[in-house]
Amino acid sequence: MPTMRKRLMGVLFLITVSLAVAGVPTAAAPAAAGTGPGHRSGPAPGSHWFDEQAAASFTVQDGRFVDGLGREVVLRGYNVSGETKLEENGGLPFASVADAEKSAQALRTLGGGNAVRFLLSWAHAEPVRGQVDHAYLAAATAQMRAFLTAGIRVYPDFHQDLFSRHLFHEDSWYTGDGAPKWVVDAGGYPRESCGICLFWGQNITQNQAVTRATYDFWHNKGGIQDAFLTTAQTTMAHLAGHLTAAEFAGVVGFDPYNEPHAGSYDPGQTSRAWERDILWPFYERFRARMDAAGWRDKPAFVEPNLFWNANLDFQKQEGGLLDAGRLGPRYVFNTHFYDQKAISGVFMWGKAKDGQYAGDFGTVRDRASATETAAVVSEFGHPLGGTVADKAPTVLKAMYQALDSRLPGATWWSRPEDSGPVLSGTQWQWDIYHGRHHEPMNGNPDKVMTAADAWNDEDLSSVRLDDTGTPVLRLDTRLLDRLYPSATAGRVLAFTYEDRSRDGSTTLTWNPVPPSLPRVRELVGSGQYGLLLWRSDGTLAPTELHLPASFDPARTTVVSDLGTVHAPPSYGNGTPIAVAPEPGGTGSRRLLLTAPQTGGLHYALITNGSTAPSEDLLRGARDELSAWAATRR
C-alpha 408/C-alpha 357 separation (Å) is 9
C-alpha 305/C-alpha 274 separation (Å) is 9
Please compute the mean of the pLDDT values over residues 220-231 and round it to a whole number: 98
> Residue 85's pLDDT band (boundaries 50, 70, 90)?
very high
Query: What would the 3-class secondary structure string for 222-248 be?
Result: HHHHHHHHHHHHHHHHHHHHHCCHHHH
Whether the per-residue pLDDT at 589 is higher than 80: the answer is yes
Angle at 69 between CA 64 and CA 73, to 5 degrees: 35
Distance of CA 22 to the CA centre of its chain: 41
Given this model, what pLDDT does residue 388 score? 97
Please compute the mean of the pLDDT values over residues 338-356 and round it to a whole number: 96
Please compute the mean of the pLDDT values over residues 596-605 and round it to a whole number: 87
Q: How do residues 366-420 score in pLDDT, each as one tens digit? A: 999 999 999 999 999 999 999 999 999 999 999 999 999 999 999 999 999 999 9
Whether the per-residue pLDDT at 588 is higher than 60: the answer is yes
Contact present, 102 and 471 (Cβ < 8 Å): yes
Please compute the mean of the pLDDT values over residues 337-345 and round it to a whole number: 96
> Residue 39's pLDDT band (boundaries 50, 70, 90)?
very low
Buried/exposed 243-272: b ≥16 CB within 10 Å, e otherwise: bbebbbbbbbbbbbbbbbbbbeeeeeeebb
In angstroms, the Cα distances linking 474 to 308, 416, 455, 542 are 30, 32, 18, 33
Given this model, what pLDDT does residue 540 score? 84
Given this model, what pLDDT does residue 571 score? 94
Please compute the mean of the pLDDT values over residues 572-583 and round it to a whole number: 91
C-alpha 390/C-alpha 504 separation (Å) is 9
C-alpha 312/C-alpha 176 separation (Å) is 23
Whether the per-residue pLDDT at 37 is higher than 60: the answer is no
| DSSP class of 444 | -
Given this model, what pLDDT does residue 43 score? 64
Whether the per-residue pLDDT at 33 is higher than 50: the answer is no
Given this model, what pLDDT does residue 600 score? 86
C-alpha 205/C-alpha 264 separation (Å) is 8
Given this model, what pLDDT does residue 31 score? 33
Given this model, what pLDDT does residue 548 score? 98
Please compute the mean of the pLDDT values over residues 346-370 and round it to a whole number: 97
| DSSP class of 75 | -
State the Cα torsion 55-59-64-65 to the nearest 10°.
30
Q: How do residues 264-274 score in pLDDT, each as one tens digit? A: 999 999 999 99
Given this model, what pLDDT does residue 596 score? 75
Q: How do residues 47-60 score in pLDDT, each as one tens digit? A: 899 999 999 999 99
Please compute the mean of the pLDDT values over residues 444-469 and round it to a whole number: 97
Please compute the mean of the pLDDT values over residues 216-230 and round it to a whole number: 98
Q: Among 561, 566, 404, 393, which residue's Cα sits nearest to residue 476?
A: 393
Whether the per-residue pLDDT at 424 is higher than 80: the answer is yes
Please compute the mean of the pLDDT values over residues 86-110 and round it to a whole number: 98
> Residue 44's pLDDT band (boundaries 50, 70, 90)?
confident
Contact present, 80 and 462 (Cβ < 8 Å): no
- Name the residue type at position 7: R
Contact present, 317 and 305 (Cβ < 8 Å): yes
Q: How do residues 536-558 score in pLDDT, each as one tens digit? A: 988 789 999 999 999 999 999 99
Q: How do residues 304-316 score in pLDDT, each as one tens digit? A: 999 999 999 999 9
Whether the per-residue pLDDT at 327 is higher than 50: the answer is yes
Given this model, what pLDDT does residue 599 score? 78
Q: How do residues 148-171 score in pLDDT, each as one tens digit? A: 999 999 999 999 999 999 999 999
C-alpha 488/C-alpha 504 separation (Å) is 35
Given this model, what pLDDT does residue 538 score? 80
Strands 463-465 and 506-507, by their bridges, are unpaired
Helices (H), 63-221: 97-109, 122-125, 134-149, 181-187, 203-206, 208-218
Whether the per-residue pLDDT at 197 is higher than 60: the answer is yes
Given this model, what pLDDT does residue 20 score? 35
Within 8 A by CB and 6+ apart from 476, the residues are 393, 501, 502
Given this model, what pLDDT does residue 598 score? 75
> Residue 12's pLDDT band (boundaries 50, 70, 90)?
very low
In angstroms, the Cα distances linking 513 to 509, 566, 620 are 10, 19, 14
Given this model, what pLDDT does residue 42 score? 55
Whether the per-residue pLDDT at 17 is higher than 50: the answer is no
Which residues pair with residue 161 across a beta bridge?
Answer: 177
Whether the per-residue pLDDT at 22 is higher than 50: the answer is no
C-alpha 52/C-alpha 50 separation (Å) is 6
Counting residues of the chain whose pLDDT is more than 90, the rounded percentage is 89
